[in-house]
Amino acid sequence: MKRIKSFIFILMASVTLYTGCNDEIDIYAEYEDIPIVYGLLNVADSVHTFKINRIFQGTAAVEDMAKDRSLSEYENLSGQLIEYRVDGNADTVPIGVPMNLEEIEIDNKDSGIFYYPEQKLYQVEAVLDENHIYELVINSEEGKITRARTSIVPQNDVLLADERRYTIGGFNTFSQSTDILIDVRPPNNAKIINALMEFRYRNEFQDGTVSDVIIIPFSLGDYIVSKVGREGNEAEEITMRFTSRFFYQTIAENTLPIVEEPNVKQRIPLDETIRLVFTSGDQEFYTYVEVSAPPEGILEDKPIYTNVENGVGIFTSRSTEERAYGMTNQSFTELVEGDFYGLTRDRGFCYLTGNDDRSCF
């Protein structure tokens, strides 16, 4: 999930390159209002947040200007989110009343080269329809109209080929030789899908109390959807994979041998031990991430990409889905006993079933 989670960083890095490295731009030219728009809609959300700034310009040091809020934020800005339905001719028809953006102030922005911790954002309350198109229209204090449109990546639309087997028999994490495969059919409109797996457990202490849920994440990577699904036309299935050694080694690297934690009696896996998290982005999202990624060579010249008219940045959509499962008996045996890889046998994990000395209860 690194690419998707670092979306704002990519956006700001792109803008910095746009203003600081393009030899066709005169940094001392007359002021021009250039809005920077970041908006990522999610059909599962009822409140949607946008970051709308302007490219700061001036003659002072870049580091100093980046820390000055007044150079980056608009004092007076209005905006609307407009909903459209698509008719049979692929034309869009506005429906309902445009939804006005509300200005908010937050005080938990992370530290960095830009101003913090306070920053201005914009929100709108809206229940999105995955079959509709949405347009963001912004009117800056300079009177400049900026707009962008996006379709919606549906929620609860990821299909797993082995869903029934996972639900009945558990998710398998053990194999002596072959990779563990996860066959997935992405949701409609998804061009890129990121997969994250989580192993979840609690520590039981010597006094009988238990810890909060502890999560060990495993990144399964980004996958490109070669055939994007549309209504009535399914996406091409993709296969995700990982190795058993990777799974058990990651657990071992994120836990101590039980003898080194004398206050911990045992580690108890959750009933739904494994959680899969799929984050899907549309074509605009994929293109923006690809074009904004750092060049692979000194001679590679990447263009600035944006789908924002009269501005820079990105307005697009994504969806996030989670599925939780228990583990297979074979997977538990390797976790607790470590007979094959030997990576987690001393970590103090216990069986959720049974009545021997390695069972949890």
Identify the domain containing residue 252 by its residue range. 159-279+321-337
Considering its fold, how many domains does the chain have in total? 2
From 82-86, 149-153, 231-235, 329-333, the region with the lowest mean pLDDT: 231-235
Please check whether residues 200 and 270 belong to one and the same domain.
Answer: yes
Confidence class of residue 291 from pLDDT cuts 50, 70 and 90? Answer: confident
Please check whether residues 99 and 202 belong to one and the same domain.
Answer: no
From 168-172, 227-231, 281-285, 310-314, the region with the lowest mean pLDDT: 227-231
Confidence class of residue 89 from pLDDT cuts 50, 70 and 90? Answer: low
Please check whether residues 6 and 121 belong to one and the same domain.
Answer: yes
Nearest 5°: the CA angle 339, 345, 347 is 165
CA-wise closest residue to 81 among 49, 55, 44, 36: 49
Please check whether residues 49 and 184 belong to one and the same domain.
Answer: no
pLDDT over 90 for what percent of the chain?
A: 68
* Residue-level pLDDT at 204: 98
Please check whether residues 19 and 144 belong to one and the same domain.
Answer: yes
Please check whether residues 31 and 176 belong to one and the same domain.
Answer: no
Q: What are phi and psi for residue 324, nearest 5 degrees?
A: -125, 140
Largest interatomic CA distance in the chain: 78
Residue 163 lies in a domain: yes
Residue 343 lies in a domain: no
From 188-192, 258-262, 295-299, the region with the lowest mean pLDDT: 295-299
Assess contact for 108 and 121: CB atoms under 8 A.
no
* Residue-level pLDDT at 296: 66
Express each pLDDT in 37-78 by its tens digit: 999 999 999 999 999 999 988 888 888 899 999 999 999 999
Residue 190: Cβ-neighbour burial (10 angstroms; 0-12, 13-18, 19+): buried
Please check whether residues 70 and 115 belong to one and the same domain.
Answer: yes
Average pLDDT over residues 270-283: 96
